[in-house]
Structure 1
Amino acid sequence: MPTVDRVLPAETAIELTAVEPPARPDPEPHIEPEPIVSVVVPALNEARNLPHVFARLPQVDEVILVDGGSTDDTVAVARQLRPDIRVVVQNRKGKGNALACGFAACTGDIIVMIDADGSTDPGEIPSFVAALRGGADFAKGSRFRAGGGSADITRLRRAGNKVLSVLVNVMFGTGYSDLCYGYNAFWACHLEVFGLDSTSPAPLGGDGRLWGDGFEIETLLTLRAARARLAIEEVPSFEHNRIHGVSNLNAFTDGIRVLRTIAREWPRGFRRASRQLAGRSAR
């Protein structure tokens, strides 16, 4: 029997059309969580200065006051001004030991160190945090960058700081413009780099301090950050006059301690290269 091709009527023909897949929603952008910011304030008889300092503090997550054995109302005033403040009593003497104790007590992602005398402006903290969030490991305050300045530094201290900064830049291969300024911030995950001692008791004899317990702490942090190859960014900062009281800083004795710190922290590789260069020159 012959085959007959059957043709569908025109009205029953099936039209095939391309079907567009449903549009997928754009993925939500990844939003980095806000870092927790801890501020460490070493204080010794600073009751009259704390109202000004705390009034200038921006919104931060944690404020730690490290008391150095104040005989005035420093602790009471701090608690009155900020009921959420955490008070730590340092176990030895000196600003360096106070900072070490304060750092050890921090629970934040970022640690900022400011002074209790009003010389460092708490209102600048967002600039330090921005530098860290932008990629820096260690944000170094500088009075000598554009936008910085000082109402407190003397000609002698300025000249000494300049000489020490040049010396460190040559020895450590850094580019610091202001070595001896103590307004700094860093990511808490780098705390171990600094090797600070916050637990050992005061040594017998002498002034009851370990190395790094004095004002040399500011240079110590800066040099150890450089030795650890941390990403360092200088942040312009303006240093104000102390509001009340008298500074415990001594330009001569503390300058000697800074020099000793530089000598002790100079990397062995630099020392070896220097000796080799000196030997070649002698020959």
Structure 2
Amino acid sequence: MLPDRVTVVVPTYNERENLADLARAVTDHGYRMLLVDDNSPDGTGDLADELAGSNPLITVLHREAKQGLGRAYAAAFDHLLRSCSADIIVEMDADFSHDPSDLPRLVAAIEDGADLAIGSRYVPGGSTPDWPWHRKFLSRGGNLYARIMLGHGVKDSTAGYRAFRAGALSRLPYREARASGYGFQVEMAWKAAIAGMRIVEIPVVFRDRTRGTSKMGGSIVAEAMWLVTVWGIRNIPARLRRVGG
């Protein structure tokens, strides 16, 4: 597959410090890059436009206000699927917690037949070396809870580094996603599993950002756990039917 049939989607909000270096690292692979900026007050959107003006592989999608990660990705997916400009669509954070050198492995997994390839911290070879024990405990516990409640086999459904086959993504109800934060990732992995899509997990090392401010907060975690609980309870009849059938 030609590299320019791969588009890496990066939502941004106050990521000016990281953006130029990240854009260079992504486009050096020959991949296209779609930056989705939520009207960042630090000028990230203006810098994104400058980068797009000097690099034909970069496109910018401006949104009027910060409306959450899920809606940013949904807007990007609509843009890419309508234009039929990508065969593989990658989700990636802007803060270098997702190593750009792992991009070819995610892309290769899709080329090898996966519908969804997740950069996983919780399969052999994956890790979170910068995290304190309590953060590791909460993240692993949250993923285990999601796996039990939703009945899928994904070990790292909260991971935000992932690649979709465009045709598979077009069959998922991403516009109807309930979660606005990182619960969106759980929801999409769950819906992909329900649809019978082939999901693979690729080990990655997740690093903490060194520049800028984290957007992760307690309300985002609470939203994800609440929605997983609701989805799990509503999904009990369907799971019982599958067991009984």
Compute the TM-score of the two structures, normalised by the length of structure 2: 0.84
Deviation, 1:39, is 0.8
Which structure is higher in helix share? 2
Deviation, 1:229, is 1.3
Letter of the 1:89 counterpart: H
- C-alpha distance in 1, partners of 2:141/2:37? 33
Change (3 A) 1:226 1:273: closer
Change (3 A) 1:194 1:213: farther
Q: Name the count of aligned residue pairs.
A: 232
- C-alpha distance in 2, partners of 1:267/1:105? 34
Q: Does the 8 Å CA contact 1:136/1:232 hold for their aligned counterparts?
A: yes
Deviation, 1:112, is 0.3
Deviation, 1:105, is 1.4
Identical positions, percent: 31
Aligned to 1:244: 211
Change (3 A) 1:151 1:61: same
Higher mean displacement: 39-48 or 90-99:
90-99
Letter of the 1:90 counterpart: R
Aligned to 2:219: 253
Structure 1 unpaired stretches of 5+: 1-32, 199-209, 278-283
* CA deviations over 1:134-176 (Å, ceiling 9, x no partner): 1111001111223322244343332122223223333444332
Q: How does 1:44-55 map to 2 (within 5 A)?
A: 44-55=13-24
* CA deviations over 1:182-206 (Å, ceiling 9, x no partner): 10111111223432239xxxxxxxx
Deviation, 1:65, is 0.5
Deviation, 1:266, is 3.6
Letter of the 2:79 counterpart: A
Aligned to 2:62: 89
Q: Does the 8 Å CA contact 1:56/1:121 hold for their aligned counterparts?
A: no
Q: Does the 8 Å CA contact 1:91/1:97 hold for their aligned counterparts?
A: no
Compute the TM-score of the two structures, normalised by the length of structure 1: 0.73
Deviation, 1:255, is 2.3
Q: Does the 8 Å CA contact 1:38/1:64 hold for their aligned counterparts?
A: yes
* CA deviations over 1:68-117 (Å, ceiling 9, x no partner): 11112212323333432211123661111111111211220100011111
Q: How does 1:50-69 map to 2 (within 5 A)?
A: 50-57=19-26, 58-69=28-39
Aligned to 2:195: 228
- C-alpha distance in 2, partners of 1:272/1:233? 24
Aligned to 2:231: 265
2:150 aligned with 1:192, yes or no?
Answer: no
Higher mean displacement: 146-155 or 110-119:
146-155
- C-alpha distance in 2, partners of 1:115/1:78? 15
Change (3 A) 1:273 1:123: closer
Deviation, 1:245, is 1.7
Aligned to 1:99: 73
Q: How does 1:1-283 map to 2 (within 5 A)?
A: 33-34=1-2, 36-57=5-26, 58-82=28-52, 83=54, 84=56, 85-90=58-63, 93-106=67-80, 107-197=85-175, 211-250=178-217, 252-266=218-232, 270-271=236-237
Deviation, 1:268, is 5.5
* CA deviations over 1:227-246 (Å, ceiling 9, x no partner): 11110000111112213221
Please give the secondary structure, in 1, of the residue aligned with 2:174.
coil
- C-alpha distance in 2, partners of 1:273/1:52? 46
Aligned-residue RMSD, C-alpha: 2.5
